Amino acid sequence: MSYSVAGLAQGAAGHQDVAAGAEGVISGLLGLGIPAAAVGTVPAAARFGAGLERARLGIGRAVAAESAKRLDQARRTAATAQLGDQLVGDTTRIAQQASTGSSIAQGMH
Amino acid sequence: MPTLSEVAALREQVVHAQPDVLDATAAGWTRASAQAAAVATGAAHVDELTAQSFRNGGAVYDAAAATAATRAALGDSGAHLDQVGRALKVVADELRATQTGVFREWTDLLLELDAINQQIADLSGPIPRTITPDPVARAAELHAQADQALARHGGAIARLVEAYDAIVVNRSRTFSDIGFGDPATDPSAPASAPPPGTPPAQVGAWWQGLSPQQRDELIRDEPTVIGNLDGVPVAARDQANRFSLGHEITRYEGKQQAIQAQLDQLPPTGVRQSPAAGDLRNDLTAQLTGVTTRLDALNVINARLTASDPRPAYLMGFQPDAGRNGKAIVAVGNPDTADNVVTSVPGTYATLNTLSGDIKHSEQVALSASAAAPDKQTAVVTWLGYDAPQSIPVQAGQHSFADAAEVPLRDFQDGLRVTHQGVPSRNTVFGHSYGSTVVGQTARDQPLNADALIFAGSPGVGVDHVEGLHRPPGTVYSTTSDADVIGWTHSPLLGVFDDELGHDPSAPEFGAHVFHADPTGDHGAYWNRGSPSLRSFGRIAVGLEPD
């Protein structure tokens, strides 16, 4: 067994990056509304404008959900990595105190 | 009979709208789509890394499953953002065309009414300037003319605005289709097209699952999507693209008339005029030349499509605004029912404006194939689905144009297999000049769905030996005339393309099956009637060995 502490730490940072990227998409979406008159005042204009707003809000909600999920995953993964670090440290110390310490300690890395 | 104020009210519905704002917003949605796609890709990578790390630690926690739902939603959002961007772009284009048409009709109406009013005023003035036997009858006649003008131009404006409104309705359905609208209030919403990048096999399965009514609605409402979607049958693509072509011809006729009208308002040439007016005339004249050239090219394509010919033509792709010079795919014969299908990729300088010449080459190959196998049907497709280089040697020496063509060409070939009816056809991909670079690179990087490849007058195909093309033995053919200047690019002295585009595929050491071309023929002579190269193109297309 090789507990990949570095991988988890990297994963936690990656989740943070994904969350930041998702927030960037949301920021972009904020500026993507159109003035009501941009499509003119034909009968379908109101329907078009309303549909566009629904799409903007719906997509924004989906992207925001991903951002929130990633922040949660970043916290979980970082905490696991931290515990893993501690676990490796503790078990290595114990192993070094035992007669077969070196081989066990090597196995933990 | 509409009144002038009613016509003015119709005009008001579109005249102040802002297509440029819609265009800019559309670009923003498309950018957001790319951004969301990039984030989704990054998310997938992070999930893989994290899940692996948890697994290595013996943890039972499934990290990838925890994010699967929101990650999928993010991926969907990327596609939805793109759909909205496309809907906005279509509305912007339609709005612009509508405004141009409405402006023209409105101006013509006012000019006509002014002229009629002037004549009526002349009749009733204190000193009549015209001698009219019956001024009352003449006035009635002029009033009737005014009514006719109102009906004619007002009707045209009403039709333009109505058509634009219908487009806005159709694009509104996009929002329902992506799941954020309220389909319950819109039961007539048609099925939506698959997002860009969907594999042709999936597209084909989706199309098969639609009702005839849904297909008709999609062809009508989404012609620019359906017409260019690999995996949709040839006849449906053709129907959609003919609609787009007709629309494009009308659009260019409008442009031509509008520019001409502006030119007509300038002082005539030969009359002394300000430098600014001279500059404007030159600018407008250049614009008119460009518009007329494109319009002529579109009309030539349309003429071939509508010609009564034993080998009918199909418009399998039409994207006049795509890339730098427009894209189009025209088949001579129906690839879905033919025994043999040749996809011909033109080279440097190919544009939508020059496509008619490339179609003529395809006609020659089809005739040659018929001569080689009279009992078999051979369809030849002119595939301008990429941005061809427009200069030699600068652009034509770069592989980037071929890089960008790989996915579209591969998808197109896959799509041919998906939609073909009956026994699978023998499919050949032919590349002339830089088109051979496109074909070769595509085959080099991933399998290309074809039974044979032909290169003619090649500057290089991306590899130095036929083995690099991952083809079964004996399925790669090449020819280069001794008099073709393309040979210079491989000469020991110059060798300008060898480093960038690969070794000459017609050289013996390359390992292709080399066949004869007229040794005196130039770079464009490979399709000359009676030439050995043309005879061999036809023979290879039907599965025979070249001469």
Instruction: Please give the mean pLDDT across all residues of chain B.
Output: 87
**Contact at CB, A11 and B66, closer than 8 angstroms:** no
Question: Cβ-count burial of B133 within 10 angstroms (0-12 exposed, 13-18 middle, 19+ buried)?
Answer: exposed
pLDDT-based confidence at B78, cuts 50/70/90?
confident
Summarize pLDDT for B25-64 with one digit per residue, the tens: 999 999 999 999 999 988 888 888 887 777 776 655 666 6
The pLDDT value given to residue B532: 97
Closest residue in B to A78 (Cα) is: B50
The pLDDT value given to residue A10: 87
Q: In Å, how far are B176, B272, B521 from B181, measured between CA atoms?
A: 4, 61, 62
Summarize pLDDT for B1-18 with one digit per residue, the tens: 788 888 888 898 999 999
Q: Which residues from chain B sit within 8 angstroms of residue A3, using beta carbons?
A: 56-58
Q: Which residues from chain B sit within 8 angstroms of residue A17, using beta carbons?
A: 42, 46
Question: Taking 60 as the threshold, does the pLDDT of residue B510 lie above it?
Answer: yes
Q: In Å, how far are B24, B65, B167, B194, B205 from B199, measured between CA atoms?
A: 30, 25, 28, 10, 10
Distance CA B294, CA B12 (A): 31
Question: Cβ-count burial of B496 within 10 angstroms (0-12 exposed, 13-18 middle, 19+ buried)?
Answer: middle
- Beta strands at B313-319 and B327-332: parallel, antiparallel or unpaired: antiparallel
pLDDT higher for B359 or B255?
A: B359
A108 touches chain B (CB under 8 A): no
Question: Cβ-count burial of A39 within 10 angstroms (0-12 exposed, 13-18 middle, 19+ buried)?
Answer: buried
The pLDDT value given to residue B52: 79
> Using CA of residue B25, residue B26, residue B30, residue B31, what is the dihedral sign?
negative
Summarize pLDDT for B188-201 with one digit per residue, the tens: 344 678 877 888 99
Contacts of B234 by beta carbon, 8 Å cutoff, 6+ apart: B314, B316, B331, B334, B335, B336, B419
Give me the interface pTM, i.e. the ipTM.
Answer: 0.78
Q: Which residues from chain B sit within 8 angstroms of residue A35, using beta carbons?
A: 18, 21
pLDDT-based confidence at B183, cuts 50/70/90?
very low
The pLDDT value given to residue B191: 64
Q: Choose among A44, A21, A46: nearest CA to A34.
A: A46
Q: Indicate which of B46, B62, B178 best probes the interface with A, i.e. most A CBs within 10 Å of its own CB.
A: B46
Question: Taking 70 as the threshold, does the pLDDT of residue B455 lie above it?
Answer: yes
Q: Which residues from chain A sit within 8 angstroms of residue B66, using beta carbons?
A: 69, 73
Closest residue in A to B14 (Cα) is: A40
Looking at chain B from residue 200 to 239, which residues have their Cβ under 8 Å from any Cβ of chain A? none
CA distance A20 to chain B (A): 9
Q: Which residues from chain B sit within 8 angstroms of residue A52, using beta carbons?
A: 84, 88, 175
**Contact at CB, A42 and B168, closer than 8 angstroms:** yes
Closest residue in B to A57 (Cα) is: B180
Q: Which residues from chain A sit within 8 angstroms of residue B32, using beta carbons?
A: 25, 28-29, 32
CA distance A94 to chain B (A): 19
Q: Is the peptide bond before B196 cis (omega within 30 degrees of 0)?
A: no
In percent, the amount of chain A with pLDDT more than 90 equals 6
Looking at chain A from residue 6 to 35, which residues have their Cβ under 8 Å from any Cβ of chain B? 7-8, 10-12, 14-15, 17-18, 21-22, 24-25, 28-29, 31-35
Task: Enumerate the H helices of B59-210 as residue ranges.
Answer: 63-124, 135-177, 200-208
Summarize pLDDT for B385-426 with one digit per residue, the tens: 999 988 776 666 778 899 999 999 999 999 999 999 989 999
In percent, the amount of chain B with pLDDT more than 70 equals 90
Farthest CA pair distance, chain A:
86
Q: Which residues from chain A sit within 8 angstroms of residue B165, using beta carbons?
A: 42-44
- The SS3 call for residue B346 is coil
Distance CA A22, CA A66 (A): 7
The pLDDT value given to residue B395: 65
Q: Please, are residues B409 and B386 in contact by the beta-carbon 8 Å criterion?
A: yes
Looking at chain A from residue 60 to 89, which residues have their Cβ under 8 Å from any Cβ of chain B? 62-63, 65-66, 69-70, 73, 77, 80, 84
pLDDT higher for B113 or B493?
A: B113
Q: Indicate which of A4, A32, A71, A82 best probes the interface with B, i.e. most B CBs within 10 Å of its own CB.
A: A32
Closest residue in B to A60 (Cα) is: B77
Q: Which residues from chain A sit within 8 angstroms of residue B38, using beta carbons?
A: 21
Closest residue in A to B47 (Cα) is: A11
Question: Taking 60 as the threshold, does the pLDDT of residue B495 lie above it?
Answer: no
